[in-house]
Amino acid sequence: MRLSAVATFLGLASAASAHFQMQYPAPRGPFVEDNEPSFCDGYTDAVSNRTTFPLTNGVIKMNSEHPTWTVGVVVSTKQNPTAFGDFNNASNESQLAVNYFQTTGEGLACFNIDLSKSGIPGVQDGANITIEVVYDGGDGQLYQCADLTLSSTVSVPSNATSSCKNITSAESNTTASSTSTSPSASTSSTKTGAAVGSMARVPGVVAGLLVLTGAVLAL
C-alpha cells in the first residue's frame, strides 16, 4: 500500500518535471532537464558560435511539455552574461523583449520577437546580445539562453518554424503602444464624462434659478 503510494508519487513527480526546450534560435547547449530551473539551463558562459538573428521580425520556436504556461524573453547586451542580473537595466529592471504572456497547448509553439522595437539600449544591427527565455508551466521558473548576433539583413529560416503552431505574444512594443494609446483613450472618456457631468448640472442650475425667481416673486 505504502509502496504503491510512493510509486504514484514518483510517477507524478517525473511527469511534473517535464519542462520546455527552445528550438530556435539554438540554446547555449543541449537541453539538461535537471538544470533548467538554473540560470541559462546551467550554461553560465556565452558560446562562440552565435546565431545570426533577425533584428526585426524574429521568431522563438520552442516545445512545451506543459499544457498551460507563461513565457517571456529578457535581453542582455553584455558580451558574456553570466548571471540573472546581467539581463537587467541600470535601474535593475528586467530588459524585456517579449512581455510575459500565458497560453495553452503542449508541443511546438512559435511566437514573435521584434528586437528592433524593444527600446533596449545597444540592441542594434551587428550587436552581440543574449536572450533568456523565462518559462513557467506550473513547476517553477525555467530558463534557456541563446547567444545572438543581430542582423538587419537576415530573416528567420523557413525550416526553423515550419512545423510550428503560431501563438500570439504580447511583445513589449505592442504593450508600449497600447499603453500610450490608453491615456488618450481615458482622457477622451474623462472629457466625455466631464461633458456629461456639466450637462447634468445644468438642470440643477436652472432649478436653482427658478427657486430664486419664485422666491423673488413671492416677495
- Applying CB under 5 A, which residues contact Cu ion? 18-19, 137, 139
Q: Which residues contact 205 (CB under 8 A, 6 or more apart)?
A: none
Separation CA 73–CA 59 (nearest Å): 11
Smallest gap from Cβ 21 to Cu ion, in A, equals 11
Closest CB to Cu ion among residues 21, 76: 21
Residue (53 or 135) nearer to Cu ion, CB: 135
β-bridge mates for residue 88, sequence order: 94
Residue nearest to Cu ion (CB): 19
Q: What is the nearest approach in angstroms of Cu ion to the Cβ of residue 44?
A: 21
Of 81 and 137, nearer to Cu ion (C-beta) is 137
Least Cβ distance, residue 1 to Cu ion (angstroms) = 29
> What single string gives the DSSP state of each residue in 50-81?
PEEEESSSEEEEEEE-SSEEEEEEEEE-SSS-
Q: Strand order of the sheet with strand 107-113? A: 20-24, 58-64, 107-113, 165-166
The distance of closest approach from Cβ of residue 141 to Cu ion in the complex, given in angstroms and rounded to an integer, is 10
**Smaller CB separation from Cu ion, 19 or 28:** 19
Pure H helices in the chain: 2-16, 158-161, 172-218
Q: Which is nearer to Cu ion, 17 or 181 (CB)?
A: 17
Look up cell 546565431; give the residue: 51
Minimum CB separation of residue 133 from Cu ion in Å reads 13
CA 51, CA 157: separation in Å to the nearest integer? 12
